[in-house]
């Protein structure tokens, strides 16, 4: 199905510097937000502690709920509205690792009912130990990193037939992270080091398609995390699943564009490389719009009617799909132009 007429030629690559500025500002805002908040707003899955979900009969501000809990073991809790605005549900999150789960629901119910003068319905009480939370957080970070790495290895072999180079890159990354861990680097720093090493290796080994994929996937994950920081949403195991889904979807979109670029390079050896990339993006535009639109319709429905449990998951995917489609056009493809330097009209890129 063709949405756009054949031969259409939007100048996407010509607007790459504007797109770079937008991406740069988005990433900068994310860094500032994360630094200001002291990192992502991890949920109880990762921090450990107790979460109590309570439903009230009337709407209250988080400060009113916190004031009602004053004088109990829950007075230092973080209060967050949960679900729709007319649901009157709240999350009471306590990160004290020494507190026990037993009786907390009853204490919260009694305090809220007495102070607010209405029935408080305790929906659930969930507890995660601090050690378990730390292990889950580390495993989640590793899962996202290794997913991106393995996809970069696949792209290098798939598009550039450099499986050996890809394997060497993976081995080098293992050595780099092992050396960093010997100096006591935490998981977050290990992943940062590994990503920097990955980008450097892709550059020196001339794995241009892998470089474009890694840079754009980092961009997609980073912007999605920034959207969560901006809206003060929690990062939980469910959101990690959403991030991994975003990585897979985004990479699939990039593979389609990369495949068309490679076909057009083989077909038109004398055409300027910039022109070839732009034509390839335009030729895959109908497919991109169709796939993205149908996915977004489902996500919008989930966001509106899916309920509070799946709300953050749908929000993450909504942001990620939009960002992933954008990065396929304005991040991954323009990265290939870096290999041309000043010779953008020199024709086809050198192989290898």
Q: Each residue of 106-135: pLDDT tens digit? A: 888 888 888 888 888 888 887 766 566 667
pLDDT number for residue 348: 42
Is a pLDDT exceeding 60 seen at residue 347?
no
pLDDT number for residue 237: 82
Return the structure tokens found at 220: 């997609």
CATH fourth-level superfamily of 13-42+132-339: Multidrug efflux transporter AcrB transmembrane domain (1.20.1640.10)
pLDDT number for residue 316: 94
Q: Choose between 286 and 185: higher pLDDT.
A: 286
Is a pLDDT exceeding 60 seen at residue 351?
no
Is the separation of the CB atoms in 335 and 215 below 8 Å?
yes
DSSP-derived secondary structure letter, 14: G
Which of 34-38, 95-99, 160-164, 286-290 comes out lowest in average pLDDT? 95-99
Is a pLDDT exceeding 50 seen at residue 346?
no
Is a pLDDT exceeding 80 seen at residue 83?
no
Among residues of the chain, what percentage have pLDDT more than 70? 88
Domain assignments of the chain as residue spans, ordered by start: 13-42+132-339, 49-128
pLDDT number for residue 344: 43
Is a pLDDT exceeding 80 seen at residue 284?
yes
What is the distance between the terminal CA atoms of the chain, rounded to a whole angstrom?
35
C-alpha neighbours within 13 Å on the C-beta side of residue 201: 24
Is the separation of the CB atoms in 219 and 327 below 8 Å?
yes
Which of 150-154, 259-263, 315-319 comes out lowest in average pLDDT? 150-154
pLDDT number for residue 314: 92
Give the DSSP H or E segment for 145.
helix 130-160
Give the integer Cα–Cα distance in Å for 255 and 125: 44
Q: What is the pLDDT of residues 181-203, one digit of tens each?
A: 777 666 667 777 777 877 888 88
pLDDT number for residue 315: 93
Residue 5: band (very low, low, confident or very high) from pLDDT cuts 50, 70, 90: low
Which of 149-163, 234-248, 289-303 comes out lowest in average pLDDT? 149-163
Please write down the HEC assignment for all residues of 53-118.
EEECCCCCCHHHHHHHCCCCCCCCCEEEEECCCCCCEEEEEECCCCCCCCCHHHHHHHHHHHHHCC
Cα distances (Å, whole numbers) of residue 331 to 22, 127, 250, 251: 11, 41, 12, 12
pLDDT number for residue 350: 41
Which of 154-168, 209-223, 293-307 comes out lowest in average pLDDT? 154-168
Give the integer Cα–Cα distance in Å for 226 and 158: 31
Average pLDDT for residues 322-340, to the nearest whole number? Answer: 85
Is a pLDDT exceeding 80 seen at residue 230?
yes
pLDDT number for residue 235: 85
Which of 64-68, 131-135, 334-338 comes out lowest in average pLDDT? 131-135
Is a pLDDT exceeding 60 seen at residue 298?
yes
Return the structure tokens found at 288: 């991109």
Q: Which CATH class is domain 49-128?
A: alpha beta
pLDDT number for residue 349: 40
Is the separation of the CB atoms in 208 and 349 below 8 Å?
yes
**Its pTM surpasses 0.95:** no
Of 28, 23, 123, 33, nearest in space to 82 by CA? 123
Q: Choose between 148 and 2: higher pLDDT.
A: 148
């Amino acid at each position: 199905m063709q949405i756009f007429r054949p031969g259409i030629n939007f100048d996407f690559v010509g607007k790459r510097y504007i797109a770079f500025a937008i991406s740069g500002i988005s990433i900068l805002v994310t860094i500032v937000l994360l630094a200001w908040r002291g990192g992502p707003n991890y949920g109880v899955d990762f921090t450990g502690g107790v979460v109590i979900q309570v439903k009230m009969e009337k709407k209250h501000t988080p400060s009113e709920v916190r004031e009602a809990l004053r004088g109990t073991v829950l007075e230092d809790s973080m209060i967050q509205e949960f679900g729709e605005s007319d649901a009157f549900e709240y999350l009471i999150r306590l990160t004290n690792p020494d507190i026990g789960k037993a009786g907390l629901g009853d204490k919260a119910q009694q305090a809220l009912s007495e102070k607010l003068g209405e029935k408080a319905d305790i929906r659930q009480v969930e507890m995660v130990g601090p050690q378990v939370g730390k292990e889950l957080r580390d495993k989640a970070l590793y899962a996202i990193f290794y997913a991106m790495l393995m996809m970069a290895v696949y792209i290098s072999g798939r598009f550039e037939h450099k499986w050996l180079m890809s394997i060497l890159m993976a081995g080098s990354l293992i050595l780099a992270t092992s050396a960093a861990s010997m100096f006591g680097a935490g998981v977050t720093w290990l992943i940062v080091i590994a990503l920097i090493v990955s980008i450097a290796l892709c550059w020196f080994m001339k794995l241009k398609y892998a470089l474009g994929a890694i840079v754009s996937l980092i961009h997609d994950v980073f912007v999605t995390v920034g959207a969560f920081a901006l809206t003060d949403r929690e990062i939980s195991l469910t959101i990690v699943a959403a991030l991994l889904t975003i990585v897979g979807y985004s990479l699939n979109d990039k593979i389609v564009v990369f495949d068309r670029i490679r076909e057009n390079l083989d077909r038109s050896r004398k055409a300027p490389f910039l022109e070839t990339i732009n034509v390839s993006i335009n030729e895959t535009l109908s497919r991109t719009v169709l796939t993205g639109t149908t996915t977004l319709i489902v996500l919008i429905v989930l966001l509106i009617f899916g309920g509070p449990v799946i709300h953050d998951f749908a929000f993450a995917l909504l942001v990620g799909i939009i960002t992933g489609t954008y990065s396929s056009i304005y991040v991954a493809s323009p990265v290939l132009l870096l290999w041309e330097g000043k010779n953008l009209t020199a024709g086809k890129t050198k192989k290898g």
